[in-house]
Structure 1
Amino acid sequence: MKKYIVLIVILCAICSKKTYGQNNTIDIISIFKPESNELKVTQSINYHNSSNTTLNEIYLHNWPNAYKDKNTPLAKRFIENYSKNFHFAKDKHRGFGKINSIYIDYEVATWEVTEKNPDFFKIILNKPLKPNESVKINATYVVRLPKDKFTKYGVNTVDYNLRYWYLAPAIFNKKWYVYNNLDLDDLYIDFYDYNITLIVPVSYKVNTDLAIIKDTIKDVVRYQLIGKQKTDIELNITQENNFIEFQSKPVSIITNLTSEKLNTAVQTDILNRELDFLKSYLGDFPHEKLLINRVEYDKNPVYGFNQLPSFLAPFSDTFEWDIQFFKVLSKKYIDNIFVFNQREDAWLADGIQTFLMIKYVEKYYPEVKAIGNISKIWGIKNFNLSKLGFNDKYPFLYQFATRKNIDQALNENAASLSNFNRKIVNKYKAGLGLKFLESYLGDSIVKQGIVEFAKNNTGKLAQSSTFVENLKTDKNLDWFKNDYLKTNKKIDYTIKKIHKTKDSIEVTILNKRNFTAPIQLYGLKDDEIKFKKWLVGIDSISTIKIPQNDFNRLSLNYNFELPEYNLKNNWKNVDKKLLNKPVQLKFLKDVENPYYNQFFYTPVYRFNYYDGLVLGLAISNKTILEKSFQYKLTPSYSTKSNTFSGSYSFIYEYLPEDNNINKFVIGAGGSSFLYAPNLTYTSLTPFAAIEFKRNSLRDVSNKVLAASLVSIDKEKSLTQTQHPETNKYNVFNLEFGYSKPDIIDDVRFSTGLEISSKFSKLSLTAQFRKLTDTNTQFDFRFFAGAFLNNNTETDYFSFALDRPTDYLFQYDYLGRSETTGFFSQQIIINEGGFKSKLPVQYANQFLTTLNTSIGLWRWFEVYTDVGFVKNKNEKLFFAHENGVRLNFVQDILEVYFPLHSNLGWEITEPNYSSKIRFVLVIKPKKIYNFIKRGFY
């Protein structure tokens, strides 16, 4: 066998058309086996040491091996992204890259691969490789292609989309740059000359942008694929070919990202225009052909297209296909010209692509709105959202992230970015940075900088830092190189005050953040610009003097060229008025309009058994973007009780920078609804909370410390039998909560202290949910609560074994006072967490329970609960139960069927249907928070 392998290696070297010199070359002979989804590969690499360091080892990326099992870095990445597909996939669907042999200059070599990093390995050289010397590496290996449902690359029913399918040498520049495959599509590989022999069954077609020579031998086709100075080689192998080659100039494009609604001539004209536009910034494309696979667009679509309903046809067919294709084409164009380390230095590649997208739309589609033709629909066209241009989405989404304090620095490692930032926000921020530099430095400087950068780095490994250093300007750009690129500091300027003198105006500008950037001051009259001036170096507060002119308002950053945190504080009237900005009433939540004081009124609804359907009108200042101060007043009418009800809240959030605290929140809220038939309660709750910062935005854990004072006043019934202590009371509540809701291991912990005039008590809740390798779910929940003192005379404030009384009015009970009937069967898993109604339901001394459930099949589980209940002057009660749990959506929709408990076999008792319990959440916000997990 060894002789056979050596013979193959020698024949591969003899057949190679490459010279064994200073060129980096990769020669591959691969046999495609569709019956096993495998590639049998013999590969030869001519590696040239272009560094000034003598090398004793060489690292190769083997990214196909990232799919080998559920313990690889890639597998763990899928779990971070709340995807279980790979974790529970069959081994035959996962794939691998299995190395059979490696030779160095035709001598057997030693290589080292670790369990921690199975997708790259180290080859020990037989002798040191000095600078400017080359070495020949020969390898034989097998690649099994994974199912494409994991990363969109791999195997589906008719296609094999191949990317990162061969051994790729790592780059050495003072150190080895080796990276795990994390589905980021960012393999860092140098330019190589490729000579690939690919043998496929005769029924298959190969799509590639390499030069092709093919011949048929019996029942197989041999493809000879040749390309010079290429980086990553993508291939499509298919039986049902849907790729088209457009004879665009000067580059022909092979793609399956086509439009059924546009004919070939129109699509070709559009491609010619796109290529001409890209050439004006990036120079000539270095190859004659370019392969663009729809997979690349599906993984990084144009956000805004796929979020709007297609049946409304919001965009023209021409615009939609043009922008879709331009996004992929611009990325491919950049990647083929120069190579960035996109794991550690991606901002410029992302920035240039976004900048070119902005400039392309500015030139050819300046009239297109962010929501397209939907903006013309009656009832929508009056919204500020409908007035946003297509390019306005870039600063809007950047602001969305900064207002939530979830933005990250542009120079942060891509593996540490949240999905939202990696796919959208950081790309937008990078492009906006270049767009702002264009405005600040002048139109030609940034464009010429891109042109020169492309010219000087074509066919080379590029570094983003050299771009800013080589911009031809005398203006200081330290603020951009440091704060803008290296931090997530926010920019926020405001006009503090205006003082008019005889012939001039003194304007005091305040910098509200620790970020000093240039900003423009505008003088306006009826939205017409009469004056503008660049202001630089304002690091705290500064007063400038400008001449009086024919304008009546001053504005900072009027055109929103600077990505600023808050625009609402950028306006001042030159002459004093009662209101600095006019009042505007708006129906439904809208995009913030900084030129107005906006008030929104929105229809809302809720439901409970006593009020019935509650219809209300929420009046608030809350826009789509978060605000520091938010209020909401919701007067409402209850259709069943024919009474007025409502709620209110006032919240102030502070987001500190460079701190272990993510958010400080203080506020107050209250409500008034029915808690029983024709009986009203009112609540008032001032509160404060601290949300601690996560280790990274990819860390799903959350830590919150909160304090509140809950005041409840319940209307008394004329026939009330309960003690008066249940009618009016105040409870101080101090809580700490920790959660880490991973999709495999879900851990939650909370502890609380409650103090009232008649009692004080401590409680602790710990939950752990585990999905095993066989996709079996285990749930464990432990609760312990004890009174420090208890002078109450009822069980209203006691710990509940099965259904808490909710005296703090914090649970979403549909019928909170019901003791019989359907609504009494609703359960919110808290305190004891039991489902059966046992003889001892409350504990006025202490309560300890353990709730467990085990999944048997999908959402079908069995549960077992045990606990100890202690009341004053009574014996310790041991509670137990078991039953069936239908866990359709965890914590959202669940149904419990008790089987056996202290009551005996409940399933045999009459009226068993009344014993069934259910969990039901109907609040859209809670459902949305469940769905969005892992994206922010």
Structure 2
Amino acid sequence: MKKQFYILLICFLATPFLFSQQNSIKIKAELDVEKDELKIQQEIIFQNTSDSILNNIYLHNWANSYRDRKTPLSKRFIKDFKKDLYFAKEKDLGSSSIKSLSVNFENVTYNELKNQADVINIDLESPLLPKSKVNISITYIVKIPNARFTKYGKTKTGYHLRNWYITPAIYNDGWHFMSNLNLDDLYEQGTDFEIEINVPKNHIAESNLYRYETKKEKHNNYLFVGKSKTDILLGINKTSQIKTFTTKTVTVHTDVFSEELDFNLTTSILNRELLFIQKYLGKYPHVEIYIDKATSSKNPIFGLNQLPKFLRPFSDTFKWDIAMFKALTKRYIENTILLNKRKDYWLIDGIQNYLMIEYIEKYYPEVKLLGNASNSWFLKRFNISKLEFNDKYPFIYQFTARKFLDQALNTSADSLSNFNRKIVSKYKAGLGFRFLKGYVGDSILNQTIQEFYQNNQLKIINGNSFYKLLSSKTTKNLDWFFNDFVKTNKKIDHTIKSIKTKKDSISVTIKNKRNITTPVAIYALKGEEIKLKKWISNVDSTKTVNFKKGDYDTFVLNYENLYPELNTLDNWKKVEKKIFHKPVKLSLIKDVSSPNYNQLFYQPDLSYNFYNGLILGMKLHNKPLIKRNFDFKVAPYYATKSKSVVGQFALLYDHFFEETKLYKISYGLVGSTSDYAPNLAYKSLIPYVDIIFKRKTLRDVSTESLRAKLVHINKDVAPSAIETDQDNYSVFSLSYNYSNPDIIKEFRYSFNTEFAKNFSKAALDLRFRTLTSTDTQLDFRFFAGVFFKNNTNGDYFSFGLDRSNDYLFQLNYLGRSESTGFFSQQYIITEGGFKSVLPTRFANQFMISNNSSIGLWRWLEVYNDVAFLKNKNHPVYFAYENGVRFNFVHEIFEIYFPFYSNNGWEISQKAYPQKIRFSLSADIKSIYNFFRRGFL
């Protein structure tokens, strides 16, 4: 072992001429486990490989990105609704403290970039000429952060480090420096490493470099070396975390292994995977490859890794195989192709996901998207159970694109929404390579990929290199792919407009429904068998293609889902015309749309209110899993307590915009009937228009909208009562709404006006919630409402101090007419926002109120409210109250205990339990939106 290492080390040190333009890094480090610190002396030999004269050098110091809440990493986490780093204790933070820095053994001026604590600028005393080099010496201490932030740092078993050392930025037509944003995309040049580290006696150091260990009296000494390496990982634990598998191509070191698979089977699978990758990419330039669990877990197989363990629709072999294949292809490519992954990530993602698709097709063609669950008695009747595992790529893309939430592939990775960055853009890139395979031919594409990989190993390149190479191997025009497909989020969407049968031929007219011109794949089928396949180019509007008559009955576009398309349901056309081209089919719950049927979905539904009791019924709708522009719903119910039929219906059409500041306009009509009091029902009919504006970016979580609606209400009247204007009325409402649900500083406001026959009024509802530097929540709300005209009698249309009358029937009250009892204690923050019931509860002229609360400990908060109410012929009434709020889930589940108000000390008064109020939201959409924050 020693002999082999020395031979390796001699070769490493004795052949610098082979890598004369290579940067090199030498590190001497010592681990202090008491302080969680690495004390480092580092030497960087930086080569100016450009044709430019450099007056400064930039260094990446990503270990410093954990320093405080002002770093780009901390701010990025806040945008992702993660506040762990922002409020972390001092002992959990990380930093990189530089003690000295010199260039060519002379002290120089250096500084952190403004607002980028993890990037260092060095001003050179003498310009660095092309093909010249400098020696940069740095002494610094790295405080290791807690691994819970990014999975790198101090773990439960020791340390798992990534981006822990200082490394030069790349100069290539300008400096390419970037801050750590938890994207694992540090742009490094291939570098020769020599790292010597001392660790405590009972610790073991492991890395993705060659290792030599020397055990000494008080510590263990490790020497790690490697040529043309990037992204050096370092693990230090009391026990070895790594298993080694020797295959026919490379040696795999990994802590990603399955206890259910034995060593021989694991080795066999790894061997198959690496041979497959080598077939497409060619030989790997290193003899070893390192796969770590932390990095692998941050790039999971979505839809597979997220399933709980008790659900096992996939075999252990399949799960481990494709998870490891994904990790291997990522390392195989990223360790070799030196692209700026923040800008050209699409190329790496495209090759990786293309290989994933090919691997699944070769070795697991029978695996369904839902795995073995597809054969269950319940699921096998659904279309989604028929989808192959690879069908997830066009399915997920279409799911996002139909909502117009996808982004161009050349969008910088730090500007992508999390859903696009983690899933959609990767899938679209993989489908893009599948598109190229179908269009130019698999031999041309595969040859290009391999040549691109082999010819550019450890070279600084960009995505344009692949474009030039592929274009040189085909006469077909590929501008549509590298321009519109990569650089825009234009959607592909074609349909078969018509089929005309002639004596000996068939004419098929293809229509392009969108603003992108790409090749189109058309198929002729006999049943499900492909009889003919042809690529059609230049379909910019419509194009008619003639085919000889043959043994086929259907023409289909994009039958094999070779490219991502906005809508594939209208891609099918029968040769023989039929009266009912697509018969109606009823399906249970939601499903994937079928091109052969017009589907209607039905699903059981239940709800509850105090007057109707348990409400049971069935919803009939046309909403599949992937959104469509026109939706309708009809939902009849039977109420068990009132023994009556209630229900609702809804019609909605979404009109999306791509080139304007508008995101979409929604036109809707909803109607419903339910009980609002014992044995008394109401009917509502509401036509409305919503105008939703685009966000500045898809990473911006703020929303801005306008809503206009006309609410018609018709209420039943008790037999002994006389119908009044409060029982049959119409109200026109116009509102503007803005929301920015930031996790640290949330700001929302709405301005609403209402016009009716006997009144008109306006109201402003403004809410601000912030977290202080000690993670204390401060909550403020301001409400102001005024009547312009009020000729009504009573307080039915008045502003409510503690409870809105909700005459528009838009709040989810369980017992909306109750004045006593449990259901009267339900609280929904609106209008006055008070919790105590005071002598003056309504205002028919104006109301101004302020609601505030301050956090004490976890969910416990103290609230204080004040308000001014004005009623006709009465002086202004001043209202006040305070109490304690248990804010378990903000605006979803809260409990209020009033203490003191205009009523005096409420806690000492009789029937105090009846004064307690609670918020309980049964709105599934609100709950879903709360928990999905930061992902979409």
Coarse TM-score class (shorter-chain normalised) = over 0.9
After superposition, give the CA deviation of every residue in 1:557-605 in whole Å (9 maximum; x if it has no partner): 1222120001112122233322221222111111222222111111111
Paired letter, 1:910: K
Paired residue for 2:383? 384
1:77-92 alignment to 2 at 5 Å? 77-92=76-91
1:570-585 alignment to 2 at 5 Å? 570-585=571-586
Rounded Cα–Cα distance in structure 2 between residues aligned with 1:126 and 1:511: 61
1:74 and 2:63 are equivalent in the alignment: no
**Superposed displacement of residue 285, structure 1:** 1.3
After superposition, give the CA deviation of every residue in 1:22-46 in whole Å (9 maximum; x if it has no partner): 4311000010111111100000011
1:641 and 2:642 are equivalent in the alignment: yes
1:879–1:902 contact (8 Å) kept in structure 2: yes
1:852-891 alignment to 2 at 5 Å? 852-891=852-891
1:57 and 2:48 are equivalent in the alignment: no
Paired residue for 2:94? 95
SS in 2 for 1:245: strand
Rounded Cα–Cα distance in structure 2 between residues aligned with 1:834 and 1:75: 37
User: Which 5+ residue runs of structure 1 have no aligned equivalent?
Assistant: 1-14
Rounded Cα–Cα distance in structure 2 between residues aligned with 1:18 and 1:238: 34
Rounded Cα–Cα distance in structure 2 between residues aligned with 1:562 and 1:459: 31
Please identify, of 420-429 and 22-31, the stretch whose mean Cα deviation from structure 2 is larger. Answer: 22-31
Paired residue for 2:249? 250
After superposition, give the CA deviation of every residue in 1:832-859 in whole Å (9 maximum; x if it has no partner): 1111111111111111101000001111
Rounded Cα–Cα distance in structure 1 between residues aligned with 2:306 and 2:633: 28
Rounded Cα–Cα distance in structure 1 between residues aligned with 2:298 and 2:199: 27
Per the alignment, do residues 803 and 920 of structure 1 end up closer, same or farther by CA in structure 2, a change over 3 Å counting? Answer: same
Rounded Cα–Cα distance in structure 2 between residues aligned with 1:168 and 1:151: 20
SS in 1 for 2:380: coil
Paired residue for 1:767? 767
1:119-198 alignment to 2 at 5 Å? 119-198=118-197
1:822 and 2:822 are equivalent in the alignment: yes
Please identify, of 225-234 and 515-524, the stretch whose mean Cα deviation from structure 2 is larger. Answer: 515-524
Paired residue for 1:332? 331
After superposition, give the CA deviation of every residue in 1:231-282 in whole Å (9 maximum; x if it has no partner): 1101111113232111223211111101101110000010111111111111
Rounded Cα–Cα distance in structure 1 between residues aligned with 2:588 and 2:861: 46
SS in 1 for 2:446: helix
1:546-557 alignment to 2 at 5 Å? 546-557=547-558
What number of residue pairs does the alignment pair up? Answer: 921
Paired letter, 1:144: K
Paired residue for 1:713? 714
Paired letter, 1:901: S
Paired residue for 1:598? 599
1:558-573 alignment to 2 at 5 Å? 558-573=559-574
1:16–1:27 contact (8 Å) kept in structure 2: no
1:312–1:374 contact (8 Å) kept in structure 2: no
1:431-580 alignment to 2 at 5 Å? 431-471=430-470, 472-580=473-581
**Superposed displacement of residue 797, structure 1:** 0.9
Rounded Cα–Cα distance in structure 2 between residues aligned with 1:481 and 1:547: 34
Rounded Cα–Cα distance in structure 1 between residues aligned with 2:477 and 2:584: 40
User: Which 5+ residue runs of structure 2 have no aligned equivalent?
Assistant: 1-11
Rounded Cα–Cα distance in structure 2 between residues aligned with 1:551 and 1:366: 25
Rounded Cα–Cα distance in structure 2 between residues aligned with 1:457 and 1:19: 20
2:22–2:190 contact (8 Å) kept in structure 1: no
After superposition, give the CA deviation of every residue in 1:54-105 in whole Å (9 maximum; x if it has no partner): 0011000000111110111100011111111111111121110111111111
1:738–1:749 contact (8 Å) kept in structure 2: yes
1:863–1:883 contact (8 Å) kept in structure 2: yes
**Superposed displacement of residue 527, structure 1:** 2.4
Paired letter, 2:553: N
**Superposed displacement of residue 528, structure 1:** 2.5
Per the alignment, do residues 38 and 210 of structure 1 end up closer, same or farther by CA in structure 2, a change over 3 Å counting? Answer: same
Rounded Cα–Cα distance in structure 1 between residues aligned with 2:306 and 2:286: 35
Q: What TM-score, normalized by structure 1, do the two folds share?
A: 0.97
SS in 2 for 1:286: coil
SS in 1 for 2:709: strand
Rounded Cα–Cα distance in structure 2 between residues aligned with 1:17 and 1:117: 39
**Superposed displacement of residue 16, structure 1:** 9.0
SS in 2 for 1:726: coil
Rounded Cα–Cα distance in structure 2 between residues aligned with 1:500 and 1:253: 60
Please identify, of 307-316 and 123-132, the stretch whose mean Cα deviation from structure 2 is larger. Answer: 307-316
Paired residue for 2:703? 702
Paired residue for 2:627? 626
SS in 1 for 2:151: coil
Rounded Cα–Cα distance in structure 2 between residues aligned with 1:882 and 1:858: 19
Rounded Cα–Cα distance in structure 2 between residues aligned with 1:22 and 1:441: 37
Paired letter, 1:804: S
1:370–1:388 contact (8 Å) kept in structure 2: yes
Paired letter, 1:811: L
Rounded Cα–Cα distance in structure 1 between residues aligned with 2:493 and 2:407: 17
**Superposed displacement of residue 18, structure 1:** 9.1
Paired residue for 1:359? 358
1:905 and 2:892 are equivalent in the alignment: no
Please identify, of 552-561 and 689-698, the stretch whose mean Cα deviation from structure 2 is larger. Answer: 552-561
Paired letter, 1:854: I
Paired residue for 1:116? 115
After superposition, give the CA deviation of every residue in 1:739-770 in whole Å (9 maximum; x if it has no partner): 10000000001101111111111111110001
Q: What TM-score, normalized by structure 2, do the two folds share?
A: 0.97
Rounded Cα–Cα distance in structure 2 between residues aligned with 1:414 and 1:524: 41
**Superposed displacement of residue 469, structure 1:** 2.2
2:113–2:121 contact (8 Å) kept in structure 1: no
Rounded Cα–Cα distance in structure 2 between residues aligned with 1:505 and 1:659: 41
Rounded Cα–Cα distance in structure 2 between residues aligned with 1:464 and 1:866: 61
SS in 1 for 2:381: coil
1:516–1:537 contact (8 Å) kept in structure 2: yes
SS in 2 for 1:458: coil
CA RMSD of aligned residues (A): 1.5
1:687-698 alignment to 2 at 5 Å? 687-698=688-699
Rounded Cα–Cα distance in structure 2 between residues aligned with 1:886 and 1:18: 69
Paired residue for 1:8? none
SS in 2 for 1:725: coil
After superposition, give the CA deviation of every residue in 1:864-914 in whole Å (9 maximum; x if it has no partner): 111111111111111111111110000100011111111111111100111
Rounded Cα–Cα distance in structure 2 between residues aligned with 1:406 and 1:637: 38
Paired residue for 2:4? none
SS in 2 for 1:312: coil
**Superposed displacement of residue 716, structure 1:** 1.1
Paired letter, 1:754: E
1:40–1:143 contact (8 Å) kept in structure 2: yes
Paired residue for 2:23? 24
Paired residue for 1:674? 675
Paired residue for 1:4? none
Rounded Cα–Cα distance in structure 1 between residues aligned with 2:736 and 2:503: 59
Paired residue for 2:795? 795
Rounded Cα–Cα distance in structure 1 between residues aligned with 2:596 and 2:30: 65
SS in 1 for 2:28: strand
Paired letter, 2:130: P
Paired letter, 2:561: F
Rounded Cα–Cα distance in structure 1 between residues aligned with 2:235 and 2:659: 47
1:694–1:701 contact (8 Å) kept in structure 2: yes
Paired residue for 2:321? 322
SS in 2 for 1:724: coil
Paired letter, 2:601: F
Paired letter, 1:460: K
Paired residue for 1:105? 104
Rounded Cα–Cα distance in structure 1 between residues aligned with 2:885 and 2:400: 39
Report the identity percentage: 50
1:286–1:336 contact (8 Å) kept in structure 2: no
After superposition, give the CA deviation of every residue in 1:106-151 in whole Å (9 maximum; x if it has no partner): 1111101134111001111121100001111100000011001100
**Superposed displacement of residue 19, structure 1:** 6.1
1:682–1:712 contact (8 Å) kept in structure 2: yes
